[in-house]
Structure 1
Amino acid sequence: MSDSPILTVDLAQWRAGGAAAEEVCAAVDISLQQAGFLLVTGHGIDPTLPARLRATAREFFALPGHVKSKYAVGVGGRGWIGPGMEANGYAEGTETPPDLKETYNSGAQTRVGIPEVDDYWFAPDVWPVEAPALSELFTAWTTAMKTLSDDLLALMAASLGLAGDANPFRGLAGNATWTSNINHYPPLTAVGDPADGQYRIGPHTDFGTVTVLDREPGAGGLQVYSDDGGWADAPYAPDALTINIGDLLEYWSGGRWPAGRHRVLPPQPDAPEEDLVSLIFFYELDHDAVVTPLAPPIGRESGRASVISGEFIKTRLDAITVG
């Protein structure tokens, strides 16, 4: 993986400051320009937490469909998003079959007192009684992910020489919206042969600022697109989290950093029993945050209009909803 455009950085070195921190910042800028992705070590997340959460999630996903359907919601809701509900390829304007996955979803709970805002961005989480540990473990994981995501935004600003008071995100993520998915990718023996153009997740970019991914590698796993290399398997290290940036951060960077385009391959014939679970945290900004793109020389394009975070993201969520 030494020739991958996706670099690995150590957050502990950045936090320590000095010359090592400057090297980390330089690597962040290079990796995000090349692919919109990073691998991050030194993040301080207890490795037993995602392992316990993944095990508990598997208990839920193993329940019969009629039990899981008690918690069924649509895309953007809180609860179980069953098979056939999402087609991420639609975000690129490509009509594709539904993604081969199911999801359990939670989200930010910091309501602002405006019903139409709270109902959409801060809807109550729903917890299945059949998997009683899910609530505690999922909440612990998302709490850690929010703290990490704030650190990542600060790191990314610093990598552009915009640290401290110059950080353009200061004041924009105090009550940030976020969504977290536990994605289950069933085996080939359960879902059958994929249709033409069907993936576990179709090619797309994420919509917000940073995405944090704790994943299991596999034959039908994550691939990342870069201009130089095309589609390639994403590098993996057991102690690293996979980070990518979304459309909102690409827009904010004035096109300097492309949103990380990626897909998850369908289950493969040579691994028919492969059954994967990914933990994903999609971070955004305050729902009403005004994002003003960086101008050259940092940004690559000038003249981009400011956008409202919530409006920007909702348009993209609507695009991937089947039906």
Structure 2
Amino acid sequence: MPALVSNHPPVRRWIPAPVTKEENIDWADLTFVDLARAKTPEGRAEQVRLARDATHRQGFFYVVNHGLDQAIVDRMVDIAALAFDDVSEEEKLRYQARMKETGEYLGYKLPQYWHIANGVKDRIEHYNFPRDTSRRDHPTVLRPFLPEIQRMIEFTHCEVLNEVQKLLSLGLELPENALPDLHPFDETNHSFWRFMLYNPRTQEEEEKTNNIWMKGHADHMSFTAIWSQPVTALQIKDWDGQWRYVRHVENALVINCGDSTEYLSGGYYKSAVHRVVKPPADQEGYRRLGLLYFHYMKDDALIAPLLESPVVQREGITKSISGDPPTQETWRKNRTAVYGVSQLQRGEDGTEYEIVNGVRVTHYN
């Protein structure tokens, strides 16, 4: 990944929130996977074990020493702010995503689209780029930065997630390219990049939603890569069923295992249930701006267990889709179209759920 150079177009700085100083926060104990250490045989064996066990137990872990300078990540956050602060409402509407119609997030998801609870809708805004940014047009202010955004997408896909997938392939006792080969960086792949902004809410909205900004859920794709940012609001439903906060780690990514990988591994790797909640008191009023990459398999891949894995054979299949498994294309479009807007049913355990492709998809308030 090339370093910053002087001929990049200028962009004003985004001033991030200070890291919380509140005590008594229940932090999740997440594993650190070090990609630099994975370059030696001894270190690689260690990182395979760490990545495998973390994904089996929690479905969340950090990636560090990935090779990208913090300054490039900071600049990408600066660019992200333009998508929300320097684009008119009229232009946002022109680039509004048609999730229900297309099953894709590409373009803007504007606030007040998803239902949270008790009549309260979200205050979340995001702008989504296809894996290949040239596939579609973009708001005027973002166009000068498309080469940088494209390089960031490729880095996250190929140098981070595909490297993680090599470790997890070995964790399933498969050839290291088993998972990366299912996630090529080409026209068959519809992974996407997101600039995401959480806006503060009113006290009335907080009370009606019990401080939940986004319901607990598992992502439907293979993995989500979240570049760590300082507003403490992301929680995981941990291995013991408790909700715990994800701590900010400078220049780290939080890797989130999704449902597709859980099905590929027959349930051995766990898709991570997570949610976003009101930040601590010393971060109230700050906007939460993030960089995320949602990683899919190629469209014709089946959402079905990798039966050739000795781990899957030995551990057995605990999670699979009954009947004919859907393709990645069918799965991603159907899950995207209904998220946050379908009529949910109430489960006996107090959760809410919907049925997609014959699968019970659970939402946690």
Please, what TM-score do these two structures have when normalized by structure 1?
Answer: 0.82
Q: How does 1:1-323 map to 2 (within 5 A)?
A: 4-16=28-40, 18-63=41-86, 64-75=88-99, 76-87=104-115, 97-109=120-132, 124-147=135-158, 148-164=160-176, 167-169=177-179, 171-174=181-184, 175-188=188-201, 193-194=205-206, 196-197=208-209, 199-219=212-232, 221-228=233-240, 230-266=242-278, 270-294=282-306, 295-301=312-318, 306-322=325-341
Q: Deviations over 1:162-196 (max 9, x none)?
A: 134xx54364223322011110112347x974362
Structure 2: which amino acid aligns with 1:177? H
Equivalents in 2 of 1:226, 1:300: separation in Å? Answer: 22
Equivalents in 1 of 2:319, 2:234: separation in Å? Answer: 33
Structure 2: which amino acid aligns with 1:266? K
Q: What are structure 2's unaligned runs of at least 5 residues? A: 1-24, 307-311, 343-365
1:296 is displaced (CA, Å) by: 3.0
Equivalents in 1 of 2:201, 2:269: separation in Å? Answer: 35
Structure 2: which amino acid aligns with 1:296? Q
1:269 is displaced (CA, Å) by: 5.5
Cα 1:215–1:188 change in 2 (3 A) is farther
Equivalents in 1 of 2:286, 2:319: separation in Å? Answer: 46
User: Is the Cα–Cα contact under 8 Å of residues 57 and 134 in structure 1 kept in the other structure?
Assistant: no
1:299 is displaced (CA, Å) by: 4.5
Q: Deviations over 1:222-267 (max 9, x none)?
A: 1111131510001331031100111000011111121011111135
Equivalents in 2 of 1:302, 1:321: separation in Å? Answer: 24
Secondary structure of the equivalent of 1:196?
helix
Q: CA RMSD in A?
A: 2.9
Equivalents in 2 of 1:202, 1:314: separation in Å? Answer: 20
Q: What are structure 1's unaligned runs of at least 5 residues? A: 111-122
Structure 2: which amino acid aligns with 1:86? W
User: Is the Cα–Cα contact under 8 Å of residues 52 and 167 in structure 2 kept in the other structure?
Assistant: no
User: Is the Cα–Cα contact under 8 Å of residues 253 and 299 in structure 1 kept in the other structure?
Assistant: no
1:213 is displaced (CA, Å) by: 0.5
Matched residue count: 301
Equivalents in 2 of 1:61, 1:280: separation in Å? Answer: 16
Cα 1:235–1:96 change in 2 (3 A) is farther
User: Is the Cα–Cα contact under 8 Å of residues 200 and 267 in structure 1 kept in the other structure?
Assistant: no
Structure 1: which amino acid aligns with 2:30? I
Cα 1:168–1:266 change in 2 (3 A) is same
Structure 2: which amino acid aligns with 1:205? A
Equivalents in 1 of 2:106, 2:320: separation in Å? Answer: 37
Equivalents in 2 of 1:193, 1:277: separation in Å? Answer: 20
Cα 1:95–1:139 change in 2 (3 A) is farther
Worse-superposed segment, 288-297 or 97-106 = 288-297
Please, what TM-score do these two structures have when normalized by structure 2?
Answer: 0.73
Q: Deviations over 1:93-117 (max 9, x none)?
A: x99743321001111339xxxxxxx
